[in-house]
Every structure is written in structure tokens, then in C-alpha cells.
Amino acid sequence: MTSPAERLFRLFPQTPALDGHQEGVAAVPGLVRGEPAWMGSWKFRANPYAVENARSHTRMHLTLANVCVDIEDAARIGGVLMANAVAHSGVPEYAQIPMQWVLFETGELVIQVQDSRRDFPGFDEAVTWEPAEGEKPRGLWIARELGAELAFVPTEAGKIVQALIKPLEVPAWDSPAVRHTP
């Protein structure tokens, strides 16, 4: 989690989107070190299936990328980010919500979702919210409990909400966190 003053971002260029806007990866400086080793993206319709589709695609993309994070936790975090975008962006069901997965050479993973709403009222409260006894866990609290560090940044097209997931603790080996295989 970052305070508003710490929400500084840098963009890593990627291929231009179909609509001519440049896509990028918003990464919180100081939390993410190194350059992206792998990137994946998909667009999901903002319909009742968006959350489960985001979870399934996250699971599939991260399994194929052979990441060093808990894939099931990452899939749940991706689902939470998508649910948040669908619920609060106010877009119709036919609208598409982009999601990206970025694996850094350090083994850190960023999952980010972009929606069309520029602001995020109550972001700090949503991230620091704790369920009362007997209250059902919800939203960004679930992502935070699964180990995600959360941030957002306004963009020309809306905002990007991201979750940074640290790699799993593994015994020291003489191999990098990300394999450079074709």
C-alpha cells in the first residue's frame, strides 16, 4: 500500500493499443526493480462473467509464464481488481476492461486493471478497511490479505489500479527468479 504522496509512477512502453493510445505498465518506483521480463494482456467485457474470466485468464497466463508467485492467490487478486472495475467504473456490459500481467526479472508480478473512471474516491479507506467481527471480507481487503501492495494512477483514459505481488520465498538457488528461455 502506498500513501498518496508516494503514488509516483513510471511507464514502461508496450505495443500501441488498437485505438492508438500507448499502453504501458504503471509501476510504483521503489517497489518494483528491474525491467519487465514478460507481459500479457487481455480485455474482458464488463458483464457478470468478467470476474471469473479474469481469474481464469490470470491463472492460465501465469501458469504458462511459469511465475514464482502463488498462482491461485494471484488469480483471486486479479478477480478482485476486475470486480472493483466492473462495480465502480459505471461502464455498460458490452464495454471492455483491459487487464495486464507483468513479470519483472526480480520475480515480482504486477497485475493491473484499467477502467474509464479517473478518480478513486476513498482509495485509502478501501485499502485500509478491516472487516468487523462477523463481517464478510470484501474487495481490496482480500487482495491485501493475499499479499498484494495496491496503488492506482489516473491516466488519460481513466485510471489504472494495480497490485504488486512479491515472489514466493524459496530456498536460495543459483538461478534467477525468471528464466530467460525462448
Grid coordinates standing for 49?
462473467
Residue 19: pLDDT band with limits 50, 70, 90 = very low
Q: Would the CA dihedral through 101, 104, 106, 110 be positive or negative?
A: negative
Task: Report the amino acid identity of residue 92.
Answer: P
Q: Would the CA dihedral through 6, 71, 52, 58 be positive or negative?
A: positive
Residue 51 dihedral angles phi and psi, to the nearest 5°: -65, -50
pLDDT of residue 8: 34
Give CA–CA dist 93/167, Å, rounded.
34
State which of 19-23, 45-49, 170-174, 175-179 shows the largest mean pLDDT.
45-49
How does pLDDT run across 64-122, given as a tens digit for each residue? 988 889 999 999 999 999 999 999 888 999 999 999 999 988 889 999 999 988 888 88
Beta bridge partners of 124: none
Q: Is the pTM of this model over 0.75?
A: yes
Grid coordinates standing for 111?
497485475
pLDDT of residue 17: 38
